[in-house]
Amino acid sequence: MRTVIHCNFDLCTGCSICQMACAQIKTGGTNPRLALLRLEKQGLICRPVLCAQCRNAFCMQVCPSEAICREDDGRVVIREEKCTGCGLCVEACQVDMVFFDSDNKSARKCDLCGGDPACVKYCPTGALEKIKLGGDADA
């Protein structure tokens, strides 16, 4: 079973509250640029982009220090204390959702806030929802 965040882009207004909530939880500030998700805007459409918590996570496969692992609940997380800052995971991520934190000299990515994602909790329109996937049919 994997937990992922499903994006209903047709409900997204581009308000950035999801980014501010993420930044607040992860950094203590509300700067949307510090969020571990991004909003892609194309004309009137705004689409939240988040870590896909991939079943076959390339970021985890390329990590030479085994800093990236899958938790029992299916979340793919980065163990900052093991990360060497080599950047291979940043290059391997197919959705560009692994970031290099130059202050800590380590990689960062969404970990679903330990299972209770702030972006989902504070999204005022329901554009983001936490869902569980299981079996071979999921991506």
Residue 65 counted as domain residue: yes
Provide the whole-model pTM. 0.87
What is the per-residue pLDDT for 107? Answer: 96
Residue 137: the pLDDT is: 42
Q: Do 63 and 102 have their domain in common?
A: yes
pLDDT at residue number 135: 56
pLDDT tens-digit readout, 96-119: 999 999 888 999 999 999 999 999
Q: What is the pLDDT of residue 103?
A: 87
How many structural domains comprise the chain?
Answer: 2
> Could you tell me the CATH number of the domain that includes residue 126?
3.30.70.20
Q: How many CA atoms lie within 13 A of 42 on its CB side?
A: 6
Residue 31 sits in the same domain as residue 58: no
Q: In the chain, which stretches have pLDDT less than 70?
A: 135-139
Q: Is residue 1 part of a domain?
A: yes
Query: Domain range holding 21?
Result: 1-50+113-134
The secondary structure of the chain, three-state, reads CEEEEEECHHHCCCCCHHHHHHHHHHHCCCCHHHCCCEEEEECCEEEEECCCCCCCCHHHHHCCCCCEEECCCCCEEECCCCCCCCCHHHHHCCCCCEEEECCCCEEEECCHHHHCCHHHHHCCCCCEEEEEECCCCCC
2, part of any domain: yes
